[in-house]
Each structure stands twice: as structure tokens, then as C-alpha cells.
């Protein structure tokens, strides 16, 4: 479903982006946030089996616990003292990881109403 991806981008895709292309079948990127939208996000995509990537979201996120707003991956990732986390995704899928206490997290899971005419 596109609606949680669109909402995650709207709320959290701000600041510097760093791409991770270390594996031909599993890629990732992070957005570190800005002073006025500090939450940031981490995204992992795989076109083969399950994947994981150690990515730097920034020391400013040390100690935060992040989880997958799409709900494909269970559990949490704790950001270490160097600002890194080990982010996973299931095979042939995508996961979008965000601080579980970030502003706007109450909007997930999304409840997209596709009835644009209100019938």
C-alpha cells in the first residue's frame, strides 16, 4: 500500500540523505532530519531474500528505539552511541524505520479512505 510510504515521506524525509548500495539485492538510505523536523528515517529494500544494513542515522539519535512503520519487520532497532542501527527488511519487500516516539507516529498504521466521492 502506498499510503504509509507517502505519509512517512511527508513527515520524516528531511535533511541529508545517505545511500547504501553495498549489496546488489538489498539497498538502503537514511534521512537524518533537520532542526525543525528532526525525526529522520531509515529505509531498506530487498528484491531477493531478507536483508539487513547497518546504517548511520546520526549521533543525535543515540539511544532512540526505531521500528518499521509498515509493520513488516517486528521488534525495535536501538541506535548505538555512534549513531548506527542495524535495519532489516523481509525478502522482496521494503521497511521504513522511524523513531517510535517521533511526532506523528500516532498516524500509523494508516487508514486510507479511497472513496474520494464520499459514497
Domain CATH number, residue 62 = 2.60.40.1180
Distance, in Å, from the CA atom of 64 to the CA atom of 27, rounded to the nearest integer, reads 23
Flag whether 113 is in a domain: no
Flag whether 10 is in a domain: yes
Flag whether 18 is in a domain: yes
Q: Quote the domain boundaries for residue 17.
A: 2-102
Flag whether 94 is in a domain: yes
Q: What's the predicted TM-score (pTM) here?
A: 0.92
**Residues 44-62: tens digit of each pLDDT:** 999 999 999 999 999 999 9
Distance, in Å, from the CA atom of 50 to the CA atom of 41, rounded to the nearest integer, reads 19
**Residues 65-102: tens digit of each pLDDT:** 999 999 999 999 999 999 999 999 999 999 999 999 99
Flag whether 119 is in a domain: no
- CB-based contacts of 72: which residues, under 8 Å, 6+ apart? 89, 90, 93, 94, 95
Structural domains counted in the chain: 1
Amino acid at each position: 500500500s502506498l499510503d504509509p510510504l507517502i505519509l512517512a515521506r511527508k513527515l520524516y524525509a528531511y535533511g541529508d540523505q545517505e545511500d547504501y548500495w553495498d549489496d546488489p539485492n538489498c539497498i538502503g538510505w537514511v534521512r537524518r532530519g533537520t532542526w525543525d523536523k528532526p525525526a529522520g528515517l531509515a529505509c531498506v529494500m530487498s528484491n531477493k531474500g531478507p536483508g539487513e544494513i547497518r546504517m548511520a542515522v546520526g549521533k543525535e539519535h543515540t539511544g532512540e528505539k526505531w521500528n518499521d512503520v509498515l509493520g513488516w519487520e517486528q521488534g525495535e532497532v536501538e541506535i548505538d552511541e555512534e549513531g548506527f542501527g542495524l535495519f532489516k527488511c523481509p525478502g522482496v519487500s521494503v521497511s521504513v524505520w522511524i523513531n517510535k516516539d517521533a511526532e506523528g507516529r500516532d498516524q500509523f498504521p494508516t487508514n486510507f479512505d479511497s472513496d474520494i466521492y464520499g459514497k
